[in-house]
Amino acid sequence: MITRKAEYAIIILTELASHPRGTILTSKQISKNRSIPVNLVVQLLAVLKKAGWTTGIRGPAGGVILEQDPGKINLREVIEIIDGPIGITRCLFRDRPCHDRSHCSLRGVWAKAQQHMLNVLEGVTIQELADSTANDC
Amino acid sequence: MITRKAEYAIIILTELASHPRGTILTSKQISKNRSIPVNLVVQLLAVLKKAGWTTGIRGPAGGVILEQDPGKINLREVIEIIDGPIGITRCLFRDRPCHDRSHCSLRGVWAKAQQHMLNVLEGVTIQELADSTANDC
DNA sequence: GTAATTATAACTAAAGCGGTTATATTATAT
DNA sequence: ATATAATATAACCGCTTTAGTTATAATTAC
């Protein structure tokens, strides 16, 4: 399952993207605007920073700036950066592929189903979400 | 995530479907043929029976018979009978939809991604898996 | 009656999830 | 300088789910 943290990360990026480029927002502001626990905002921003998408500015009057073009961040990327590789079943995820037999037809079905899901997620960017109206899930 | 038990259930049904209609197989045989812990086979057969897909015959020389036409059982059905409703995110699953706001664009994306995945799973039947070669994941 | 089988429920260890707590670091304002 | 507001980072914790086990009862062929 796609975790809540991944959802939060997407929402955080969307919040940043819904302000003029270069705007500084604090964790507290993001937390308040989007109803996400502050601690989680901080925790997730650390990961987003590591991905090179945001920069942190310390001290009072500090905050976070969105560095990457939100039109170039798709949802799959965000999810995988937070949750790790996506896998709708164990055999697509961390377990060995089905007792090491590579041509199991069930595995093929899983892979196909997952790919169709990922195609949708890859097709949506943070920018597009920011352009829509309500995103505070 | 689609659980291992759901996968097992699919494999159990596939095993049954890969024998002539009306064939009686014991839990032990299924377990051995497909490398699934016997206890789990028994546990899962109970659910499959409740769904009306299999019948159990007690006593020695007993076992299980596939009742439903395997061409009429698709993977989504099996998964949902074992795991409950599928949801790739919490907001599509058991939580309230996003703070009760129904037009959150993120929710729409999740729903679309999930639907694409489900379309694939609905399009594959137990019969089709039984017709392929290797399924013992 | 014994053994082989299904039927059913309760239990358990391990992992993952969602979130909290604690502490350190940096920079501004006075 | 000192207090303060902010990010940075790591460790921790309770809860739920998962995957599997254990135990016991019911049925039936021989």
**Rounded Cα–Cα distance for residues B137 and A110 (Å):** 12
Mean pLDDT of chain A, nearest integer: 91
CATH for A4-84+125-131?
A: 1.10.10.10
The C-alpha angle B33, A98, A1, rounded to 5 degrees, equals: 120
B7, B112, B113 ranked by CB distance to A89: nearest: B7
Q: Do B120 and A99 touch (CB under 8 A)?
A: no
Q: Do A137 and B91 touch (CB under 8 A)?
A: yes
Of B8, B123, B23, nearest in space to A116 by CA: B123
CA atoms lying within 13 Å on the CB side of residue A41: 23
Statement: residue B136 has pLDDT above 70: no
Which fold would CATH assign to domain B4-85+125-131? Arc Repressor Mutant, subunit A (1.10.10)
Interface residues, strand D, Cβ cutoff 7 Å? A 26-28, 39, 42-43, 45-46, 49-50, 55-64, 90; B 1, 3-5, 8, 37, 39-40, 42-43, 57-62, 83, 94
Q: With H, G, I as helix, E, B as strand and everything else as coil, classify residue B94.
A: coil
- The pLDDT of residue A83 is 96
Residue of B nearest to A11 (CA): B106
First-to-last alpha carbon distance for chain B, in angstroms, is: 17
For residue A77, give every residue at least 6 positions away whose Cβ sits within 8 Å of its Cβ, in sequence order, or none. none
Statement: residue B101 has pLDDT above 70: no
Could you tell me the two tokens for A17?
A: 């993207």
Backbone φ/ψ region at A64: left (φ over 0), alpha (ψ -120 to 50), beta: beta
- The pLDDT of residue A105 is 84
Higher pLDDT, A130 or A98: A130
A91 — pLDDT class (breaks 50, 70, 90): confident
Average pLDDT over residues A60-81: 97
